Structure 1
Amino acid sequence: MAEATAHGQEMHAGQIAAVPTDTHQEHPIKLYLVVWVWLFILSAASYMVDYFHVQGALRWSLILIFMMLKAGLIVAVFMHMAWERLALVYAILVPPIAVLVFVWIMAVESEYTLWTRLTFFGPSP
């Protein structure tokens, strides 16, 4: 007494279909607590940059590094990007990286444009 299933397989009387009922992934609370502690430490370090009056390029480098580390932790763990397929990760992360590269190229080009204007047209009166 075999019955045909939707997938062309036969189920016999008394068999239970092996259909996954729960595809939800649960992560241990310890992971979230550890990430939360790291976010607190990185925020405190970012605050310390201002507290100790770090100036110049070092200040902005440290602030940007701490910001990117915090954003990476939030995206990877709290937005569950660490458990997504690689194609989806690339689809989300590559465009902002490309925008940053284009902004860097424009900044370099702007310095060259300023140099050529000052060289060939002279400083403004």
Structure 2
Amino acid sequence: MTQPSTNTTGPAIHNEAHQEHPIKLYLVVWGLLFVLSICSYMVDYIGIHGYLRWSLILLFMVLKAGLIVAIFMHMAWERLALLYAVLLPPILVLVFVAMMVSEAHYVLFSRLTFFGTGP
């Protein structure tokens, strides 16, 4: 094994430390994912129906996806990556949806103006 040179006239040697997170963090996240999955299954088991059922299922799904992305993909420690990978695409989709809604209202208004409301 060679020792790094102590010569100060040469290029500086940078030791990039690899950040390791405690195993407890991963075990807690796995436990939370397990609990959220149980809650999602309990919504079906209890027999909740309608919008409440779908709202709860979507809520648990988003919470699980958020935990996976934040911890296992290390997005919680990289703020810029979080913005670009997780928040920017949905914001752009909402902008495009708003543009389509605006266009749809314009087309409907044009059709009603030039073709009338029907017989």
Name the TM-score, length of structure 2 as normaliser.
0.70
Q: Please, which of 69, 88, 93 is the counterpart of residue 95 of structure 1?
A: 88
Partner in structure 2 of residue 5 of structure 1: 10
**Matches of 1:72 and 1:25, distance apart in 2:** 21
Q: Please, which of 22, 36, 43 is the counterpart of residue 49 of structure 1?
A: 43
Worse-matched range after superposition: 86-95 or 23-32: 86-95
Please identify which structure carries the higher helix content: 2
| Matched AA of 2:89 | P
**Superposition CA RMSD, Å:** 3.2
**Matches of 1:72 and 1:27, distance apart in 2:** 18
Deviation of 1:83 (Å) = 1.4
Moved over 6 A (4+): 106-109
The answer to which structure, 1 or 2, has the higher relative contact order (CA under 8 A, 6+ apart) is: 2
Q: Unpaired runs of 5+ in structure 1?
A: 8-16
Name the TM-score, length of structure 1 as normaliser.
0.67
**Matches of 1:106 and 1:75, distance apart in 2:** 29
| Cα pair distance change 1:61/1:103, threshold 3 Å | farther
**Matches of 2:96 and 2:38, distance apart in 1:** 29
Partner in structure 1 of residue 114 of structure 2: none
| Matched AA of 2:82 | V
Indicate whether 1:64 and 2:63 are aligned: no
Count of residues in correspondence between the two structures: 107
